[in-house]
Amino acid sequence: MEVLRWINAVWQKECTAPIICALEVQEVQEYIRCGKVLGNIRKSHVKRFDISKYGETILPNLGKERFHEIRRRHSDLMIHVPRPWPTSQQIEYLVEKASEQFIYPSVVLKYIDDSGAVPSDRLNIVLGLPTEDYDGNLDSPFAALDALYLQILSSSKNQTILNRTLAAIILFRETTQTLLADGSRSMECVLIIQPRLVNLLQTTTDLGRIHATLSELHSLFQEPSPVESDFQFSHASFTDFLLGPCRSLHFSIDKASGHDYLAQCCLDAILSKDKGKVSIPVVRYAQRYWAYHSSNASGSDKLLSKLSQLDMYSNAIHTGLLPGYYPLRMFSKDLMSIMQIWTRFYES
């Protein structure tokens, strides 16, 4: 996004319409459509960049520049490492493993450049990762990327919290898409309604525990850190990876468990006796989506215990009467969700 803002600034000075070459055309166009990039740039200015034609030239040069920065920034940790580092053979091997995907070297460089790690050790780990998928298929275009994602995820010290947090991230973003899909709200309105996910999660989970769980996963999230970015993934391919059981294996997302976790967060926000500690956007989200998440949840003992403390129908009626952010036509859907909750969890 910062690059697009810079392009727009140059355009205004030079009066020359740009052609923006991008790997993820839809992603860039969405930034422009949603008004995230101000100025004269339009979706028609974005063209797809064919990496198959230029990848072998650009990737090595990009890698050399970034490795030079890493070596300079971690000079105190690299005294014992022979020069040149990395060798030209190592860079060539990384380019080969990238399979003409820019995202692979991008994640590799962030992983190697992580604070607190020795870059040369991290590079050796990456070079030693398998180049075939879990079934031994050498032709898989995502084999190297998947192996890298698995390596990074395996460094987390609490897989239970990690898996449910990743599931919550994906499902929380889906609710934004739901609001946009029904056509009743603009992107600006949705951004006002939606709370920061970190504020929602900490109604149930201690923030320090979340920090500790994600502390080794900076390379998978946008800067400056997983929590400070509000859990924004570095690239959409990571979501695809997590939703593919054959690719993410034991880190695969269980949507029912994710809904269960988000439902618990919503109920904790609604049932909180200290309302001053729960922000208004979190309360609004909780009142709007507790029934939706509960009706799609796995039905853990913790969730059922919290549901038993909630007067479901009076809460739904109260929420349905709130003005502005919650249209009355959605009221019947929440009542249906409540009926589904009772059918699933209480009538059996």
pLDDT tens string 76-94: 999 999 989 999 899 888 8
Sign, CA dihedral 216-219-222-223, equals: positive
Distance CA 64, CA 57 (A): 12
**pLDDT at residue 181, as a whole number:** 57
**pLDDT at residue 138, as a whole number:** 59
**pLDDT at residue 122, as a whole number:** 95
Query: CA-CA distances (angstroms) from residue 282 to 84, 89, 197, 278, 311?
Result: 52, 51, 9, 7, 19
Asked whether residue 119 carries a pLDDT value surpassing 90, the answer given is: yes
Distance CA 275, CA 266 (A): 13
Is position 265 within any domain?
A: yes
One domain, residues 40 and 184: no
**pLDDT at residue 195, as a whole number:** 84
Is position 143 within any domain?
A: no
* Last-in-domain residue among 105, 128, 151: 128
Tell me which of 231 and 336 has the higher pLDDT: 231
Read off the pLDDT of each residue in 213-236 and give the average, rounded to a whole number. 92
Structure tokens at 262: 């988000």
Q: What is the pLDDT of residues 269-296, one digit of tens each?
A: 999 877 678 888 898 888 888 888 988 8
The single-letter code of the amino acid at 18 is: P
pLDDT band at 249 (very low <50, low <70, confident <90, very high): very high
Per DSSP, the residues of 7-56 read HHHHHHHH-----EEES-HHHHHHHHHTT-S-SS--GGGEEE--HHHHHH
Is position 141 within any domain?
A: no
Q: b or e along 220-233 (b: 16 or more beta carbons within 10 Å of the residue's beta carbon)?
A: bbeeeebbeebbeb
Is position 22 within any domain?
A: yes
One domain, residues 236 and 251: yes
**pLDDT at residue 242, as a whole number:** 96
One domain, residues 173 and 313: yes
Please state, rounded to an integer, the average pLDDT across all residues of the chain: 77
Structure tokens at 55: 């990848």
Contact 315, 270 (CB under 8 A): yes
C-alpha 85, offset from chain centre: 32
One domain, residues 240 and 294: yes
One domain, residues 241 and 260: yes
Q: What is the pLDDT of residues 172-217, one digit of tens each?
A: 988 777 655 555 455 555 555 578 999 999 999 999 999 999 999 9
**pLDDT at residue 65, as a whole number:** 81
One domain, residues 22 and 169: no
Lowest-confidence region among 55-64, 136-145, 235-244, 339-348: 55-64
Tell me which of 150 and 68 has the higher pLDDT: 150
One domain, residues 94 and 183: no
DSSP 3-state of 233: strand
One domain, residues 14 and 56: no
Is position 97 within any domain?
A: yes
Backbone angles phi, psi at 36, to 5 degrees: -75, -15
- The tally of domains found in the chain comes to 3
Lowest-confidence region among 133-137, 260-264, 310-314: 133-137
Is position 292 within any domain?
A: yes
Is position 137 within any domain?
A: no
Q: Which range of residues forms the domain containing residue 247?
A: 163-345
Asked whether residue 54 carries a pLDDT value surpassing 70, the answer given is: no
DSSP state of 196: P
Q: Provide the whole-model pTM.
A: 0.76
Contact 94, 54 (CB under 8 A): no
Contact 281, 193 (CB under 8 A): yes
pLDDT band at 159 (very low <50, low <70, confident <90, very high): very high
Contact 27, 57 (CB under 8 A): no
Distance CA 213, CA 161 (A): 7
Reported for 135-141, long-range contacts at CB under 8 A and 24+ positions apart, including other chains, are: 135/246, 141/99, 141/101
One domain, residues 27 and 117: no
Above pLDDT 70, what percent of the chain? Answer: 65
Torsion from C-alpha of 212, 214, 217, 219, nearest 10 degrees: -110
Is position 115 within any domain?
A: yes
- Give the residue from 129, 122, 123 showing the smallest Cα distance to 148: 129
One domain, residues 236 and 106: no
**pLDDT at residue 244, as a whole number:** 93
One domain, residues 99 and 114: yes
Asked whether residue 167 carries a pLDDT value surpassing 50, the answer given is: yes
Q: How many helices (H) and strands (E) does the chain have?
A: 18, 2
**pLDDT at residue 142, as a whole number:** 85
One domain, residues 213 and 302: yes
